[in-house]
């Protein structure tokens, strides 16, 4: 008999890092101005390295040149499922058994980031819906009631801050390899470029998608995902307390997100309350854990990776029924361990009929 819950404390996971294989890009896709799927690289952008003190005005265009993605439209795992169908015959070449015979899990980087951060984010709640279909575990996310409430009751200044993140990207990215950024254009948060990577964590073979901000424009840069660059904004820091909070919480999220996909570099813009980017700093993803070492109540990457590996083992033990209409819902409530419930033919079911039919 196995435990029906999974501990979210740090202590059980403070052991050597589990093996995590190199991330290998299997393909990519783009979402256009209306968030439609395209099996191409049309949304790939190229970084134009900014000055260290660029003074970008992030407020520019918020009122008149912003098309905001409709966050009420939840796509579940649809985009990676579309990518899988588009690559079915290519995937089958590797193993004749079935397109996904090489994989245990299909998910997105965002869902895994939440898992990685769990032992250090006691207050963060999540619900992950898992369906086993043809031996593969699909991990989707269900928005919690508190997250939904938080999203629908954002302040105007929070909304504008979200725009600032996208505007920073526009100041630094060009659409063409030899192009220049166009900060007079529209910011449309529907548009995105995604990489699909394969890797292995312990004995868990993973296939997941992750949104990529831009790439190094040097044609001799290493192959994806090693040529990709993550862009971030954060508040300018004035006190040691602010710097400590930044290392404990923000660097954890930034590290987890980029490390999972194998993105080696993060370019961060520090902004003041007026939306001016006052400084820019580059972080090497691999070096971020060292910046947190010695921090009182700091975080350890091996705890995150062991928790993720053990969570995936827990999912494999718990999710027995192989049925596209059955969902095992794994929940993490504030300051609690991971628990699960089982749902048949419920509103949690997320594998679309078009996918199930074409894979059967
Ligand atoms: P920041 O750089 O300020 O975080 P990402 O950095 O993951 O590529 O995301 C780009 C921007 O999208 C973020 O900029 C933020 O503005 C917005 N964003 C990211 N995650 C979000 C979320 N969960 N809810 C709302 N906006 C989000
Ligand atoms: Mg992004
Ligand atoms: Mg970013």
Query: What are the pLDDT digits (tens) for 35-52?
Result: 999 999 999 999 999 999
To which residue do tokens 């961060």 refer? 268
- For residue 51, tell me if it sits in a domain: yes
Residue 43: what pLDDT?
98
Q: List pLDDT tens digits, range 167-185.
A: 999 999 999 999 999 999 9
Ligand 1: residue whose CA is nearest its atom 18? 162
Distance 5 CA to ligand 1 centre (A): 31
Q: How far is the CA of 4 from the centre of ligand 1 (A)?
A: 34
d(CA 163, CA 64): 12
Instruction: State the SS3 of the chain.
Output: CCCCCECCCCHHHCCCCCCECCCEEEEEEEECCCCCEECCCCCCCEECCCCCCCCCECCCCCCCCEECCCCCCCCCCHHHHHHHHHCHHHHHHHCCCCCCCCCCEEEEHHHHHHHHHHHHCCCCCEEEEEEEECCEEEEEEECCHHHHHHHHCCCHHHHHHHHHHHHHHHHHEECCCCCCCCCCCCEECCCEEEEEEEEEECCEEEEEEEECCEECCCCCCCCCCCCEEEEEEEECCCCHHHHHHHHHHHHHHHHHHHHHHCCCEEEEEEECCCCEEEEEEEEEHHHHHHHHCCCCCCCCHHHHHHHHHHHHHHHHHHCCCECCCEEEEEEECCCCCEEEEEEECCCCCCCCHHHHHHHC
Residue 220's region, left for phi above 0, alpha for psi from -120 to 50, else beta, is: alpha
- Nearest residue CA, atom 22 of ligand 1? 162
The answer as to whether 230 is a domain residue is yes
CA-wise closest residue to 10 among 326, 331, 298, 290? 298
Q: How far is the CA of 207 from the centre of ligand 2 (A)?
A: 19
Whole-number Å distance, alpha carbon 213 to ligand 3 midpoint, is 6
**Rounded distance between C-alpha atoms, residue 167 and residue 187, angstroms:** 7
> Looking at ligand 1, which residue's alpha carbon is closest to its atom 25?
162
Q: Whose CA is nearest to atom 2 of ligand 1?
A: 232
Ligand 1 — pocket residues by CB below 6 A?
A: 162, 165-166, 211, 213, 232-233
Cα(152) to centroid(ligand 3), Å: 22
Atom 27 (ligand 1): residue with closest C-alpha?
Answer: 162
257 alpha carbon to ligand 3 midpoint, in Å? 10
| 8 Å CB contact between 329 and 144 | no
Atom 9 of ligand 1: nearest residue by CA position: 165
* Exposed/middle/buried for residue 10 (C-beta within 10 Å: 0-12, 13-18, 19+): middle
Q: Using a cut of 0.90, tell me whether the model's pTM lies above it.
A: yes
In a domain, 2, yes or no: no
For ion ligand 3, residues whose CB falls within 5 Å: 213, 231
Residue 119: exposed, middle, or buried by beta-carbon count in 10 A (0-12, 13-18, 19+)? Answer: buried
d(CA 219, CA 108): 28
Number of domains in the chain: 1
Query: Which residues are near ligand 2, the ion (C-beta closer than 5 Å)?
Result: 211, 213
Positions of the chain with pLDDT lower than 70, given as ranges:
1-2
| pLDDT for residue 2 | 61
Tell me the CA–centroid distance for residue 187 and ligand 2, in Å: 13
Most ligand 1 atoms within 8 A of CB, residue of 151, 165, 267, 281 to mutate: 165
In angstroms, what CA-CA distances link 88 with 91, 197, 273, 292?
A: 5, 15, 48, 42
4 domain residue, yes or no: no
Q: Report the pLDDT value the prediction gives residue 204, as an integer from 0 to 100.
A: 98
Q: Which domain holds residue 72?
A: 11-359
Pull the structure tokens for residue 309. Answer: 């590996």
Mutate which of 71, 149, 162, 173 to test ligand 1's pocket (most atoms within 8 Å of Cβ)? 162
């Amino acid at each position: 008999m196995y435990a029906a819950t999974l501990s979210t404390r740090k202590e059980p996971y403070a052991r050597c890092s589990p093996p995590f294989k190199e991330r290998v890009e299997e393909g990519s896709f783009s979402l256009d101005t209306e968030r439609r799927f395209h099996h191409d690289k049309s949304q790939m952008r190229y970084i134009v390295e900014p000055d260290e003190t660029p003074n970008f005005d992030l407020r520019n265009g918020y009122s008149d040149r912003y098309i905001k993605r409709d966050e009420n439209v939840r796509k579940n795992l649809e985009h990676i499922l579309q990518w899988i169908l588009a690559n079915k015959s290519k995937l089958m070449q590797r193993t004749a058994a079935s397109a996904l015979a090489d994989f245990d899990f299909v998910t997105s980087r965002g869902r895994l980031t939440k898992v990685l951060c769990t032992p250090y984010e006691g207050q963060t709640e999540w619900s992950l819906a898992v369906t086993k279909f043809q031996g593969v575990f699909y991990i989707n996310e269900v928005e919690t009631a508190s997250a939904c409430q938080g999203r629908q009751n954002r302040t105007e200044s929070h909304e504008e801050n979200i725009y600032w993140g996208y505007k920073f990207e526009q100041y630094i990215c060009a659409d063409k390899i030899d192009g220049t950024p166009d900060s007079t254009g529209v910011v449309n948060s529907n548009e995105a470029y995604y990489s699909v990577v394969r890797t292995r964590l312990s004995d868990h073979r993973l296939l997941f998608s992750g949104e990529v901000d831009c790439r190094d424009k040097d044609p001799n840069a290493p192959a994806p995902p090693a040529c990709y660059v993550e862009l971030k904004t954060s508040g300018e820091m004035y006190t040691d307390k602010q710097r400590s909070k930044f290392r404990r919480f923000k660097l954890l999220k930034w590290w987890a997100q980029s490390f999972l996909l194998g993105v080696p570099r993060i370019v961060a813009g520090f902004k003041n309350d007026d939306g001016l980017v006052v400084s820019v700093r580059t972080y090497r993803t691999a070096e971020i854990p060292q910046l947190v070492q010695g921090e009182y109540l700091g975080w350890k990457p091996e705890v995150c990776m062991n928790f993720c590996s053990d969570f995936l083992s827990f999912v494999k033990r718990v999710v027995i029924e192989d049925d596209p209409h059955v969902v095992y819902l794994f929940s993490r409530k504030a300051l609690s361990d991971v628990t699960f419930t089982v749902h048949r033919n419920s509103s949690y079911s997320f594998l679309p009929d078009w996918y199930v039919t074409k894979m059967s």
